[in-house]
Structure 1
Amino acid sequence: MRTALKQAVSEAVGTAALVFVGLASIAIFLGDEYAAISTLPHLLRLLLVLLGFGAVITAVILSPVGSISGAHINPAVSLAFALRGDLPWKNLPLVISGQLFGGWLGAQAAVAIWHRTLAGLSFGVTHHNAHFPLWATIAVELGGTLLLVWLIFWLVANSKRREVIAVAVGCYIWLFGWATATISGASFNPARSIGPAIAGHDYRELWMYILFPVLGAVIAAVWCRLAPASCGCNMQEGCR
């Protein structure tokens, strides 16, 4: 119980940092408070927003959060690790509760500081872009989370690859997120979507940002159990 509580607190801190910095990036780079930034092309501003998300993920993984709990900072990722047998099922509810609380706390803090700006940006809530078919958002959130979990499993399967996990995962969120943000908002993380939804009292489409990232993570975890070699594990020696 003590270990689970320690993991939960660690995940709460890490997820709070993720959501706070992410919403701060949205306010700074997509808001209208800074005239010099507001004149930049929208796609460049979006690239800077996703750089904020990617950079904070890298920082959290390298921080004590990474050594204490693994810095999942994402309920879908924690579920995948439980399915793979790396996180005890008895610890999972507390860990996810910590992540959800952290997401809420980070969103509340960001909204308290940038309330006017974020109010004009839907409080950073993730939404489907009506200019694209609904299946596109489903594919992005499911496929993006599947690839994220596969990447994490592939990296942690080998000690040498593990050394670059912080930068690799941060870059994935930055670049893949930028490529898909105009479609779905590039969440890949229920806690990232739930926190702002509560802060903005906007629960429209939230179900998609819970269901499909979780489904993508489950598919990746099952895939890696059935075909461990495809996730970087040596069939004779296992993952090390």
Structure 2
Amino acid sequence: MSSSDIFASEVTGTMVLILLGGGVCAAVNLKRSKAFEAGWVAVAFGWGFAVLTGAYIAQPSGAHLNPAVTLALAIKGDISWGDVPVYMGSELLGAMLGAVLVWLAYYSQFQVTLRDPEAAEMKNANPGPVHGVFFTSPEVRHPFLNFLTEVIATFVLIFAILTQGLSANGKGLSTLGALITALVVVGIGLSLGGPTGYAINPVRDLGPRIVHALLPLPNKGGSDWAYAWVPVVGPLAGAAIAAGLYNLAWG
């Protein structure tokens, strides 16, 4: 597969992943949304369906949508290390575009929420009042434990993909594997998402965080860059551990 094919597939698939995943977060968190305060179960299932949709769209490239998946498949030996930068760069760009689309789709709700007097009082908060639409943050801030949570959650995701989700050529998710992975993501959200908001995907967090920092949102508050390394390094570490153990057991 050419680099241009990988780029087009991964950008589009990851864009839709973040549009639908960030969209459910916006629907639940922003005032004057019909799904306002729908709760954590809605968020977990919304992200699962987002993964399913993005993965089916990005089937031509193997539907990585996640640098943790790309890293694991490179360690396993199923994709060339030379393709890794193309995959990861495409995923980051797609995540940023998806976050911009969430902002556009919920523009009125962002304005209503952020111009509320309560939000105005939080304009210097770090993270800001609508951060949950764009990026994750822990309920109890303890960087090492937050990092460990992301490692464990991503290990589950990657090990599930490596053992039951890959296509015949091993370069990405199969059609059935996309469905299995989506259900695993729902399970991770319900079971392991409580402490940190389960990034389990570096670009899911980093791309929208960059967009949050750049968008002209009133009273948006800070983007919490001091925490940003956790949802990037944690998932990559979890993926490396999962791929390493897979190679030891079945390689």
Report how many aligned residue pairs link the two structures: 219
Distance in 1, Cα, partners of 2:245 & 2:68: 15
Q: Please give the secondary structure, in 1, of the residue aligned with 2:226.
A: coil
Note the C-alpha offset of 1:30.
2.5
Note the C-alpha offset of 1:79.
0.8
Distance in 2, Cα, partners of 1:78 & 1:85: 11
Give unmatched runs, 5+ long, in structure 1.
230-240
**Compared CA separation, residues 204 and 113, structure 1 to 2 (3 A):** farther
Amino acid at match of 2:180: A
**Compared CA separation, residues 162 and 38, structure 1 to 2 (3 A):** closer
| Partner residue, 1:166 | 178
| Partner residue, 1:128 | 138
**Conserved 8 A contact 2:9-2:61:** yes
Greater alpha carbon shift after TM alignment, 23-32 vs 218-227: 23-32
Q: Please give the secondary structure, in 2, of the residue aligned with 1:164.
A: helix
Greater alpha carbon shift after TM alignment, 84-93 vs 115-124: 115-124
Match of 2:241 among 213, 219, 222: 219
- TM-score for both structures, normalised by structure 2: 0.79
Match of 1:208 among 226, 230, 243: 230
Q: Percent identity?
A: 24
Note the C-alpha offset of 1:149.
0.8
Instruction: Give the helix-richer structure, 1 or 2.
Output: 1
Match of 1:54 among 45, 48, 55: 48
**Conserved 8 A contact 1:11-1:73:** yes
Give unmatched runs, 5+ long, in structure 2.
115-128, 214-222
Q: Deviations over 1:24-75 (max 9, x none)?
A: 101112322136x4465xxxx2111121110121123233x11x11111001
Alignment of 1:9-20 (within 5 A): 9-20=8-19
**Conserved 8 A contact 1:190-1:209:** yes
Amino acid at match of 2:96: W
Greater alpha carbon shift after TM alignment, 90-99 vs 165-174: 165-174
Amino acid at match of 1:208: V
| Partner residue, 1:188 | 200
Q: Deviations over 1:137-179 (max 9, x none)?
A: 22221011111111001014686x9563222111111121133
Distance in 1, Cα, partners of 2:61 & 2:138: 32
Name the Cα RMSD after superposition. 2.3
Q: Please give the secondary structure, in 2, of the residue aligned with 1:9.
A: helix
Is 1:178 aligned to 2:190, yes or no? yes
**Conserved 8 A contact 1:75-1:99:** yes
**Compared CA separation, residues 157 and 97, structure 1 to 2 (3 A):** closer
Amino acid at match of 1:186: Y
Q: Deviations over 1:178-212 (max 9, x none)?
A: 33333101110001001221111212311111111
**Compared CA separation, residues 39 and 208, structure 1 to 2 (3 A):** closer
**Conserved 8 A contact 2:165-2:181:** no
Amino acid at match of 2:50: V
Note the C-alpha offset of 1:5.
2.1
| Partner residue, 2:78 | 86
Greater alpha carbon shift after TM alignment, 133-142 vs 75-84: 133-142
**Compared CA separation, residues 33 and 205, structure 1 to 2 (3 A):** same
**Compared CA separation, residues 171 and 156, structure 1 to 2 (3 A):** closer
| Partner residue, 2:163 | 154
Note the C-alpha offset of 1:104.
0.7
**Compared CA separation, residues 217 and 39, structure 1 to 2 (3 A):** closer
Match of 2:154 among 145, 155, 158: 145
Q: Deviations over 1:119-138 (max 9, x none)?
A: 642142111222x6444322
Greater alpha carbon shift after TM alignment, 145-154 vs 133-142: 133-142
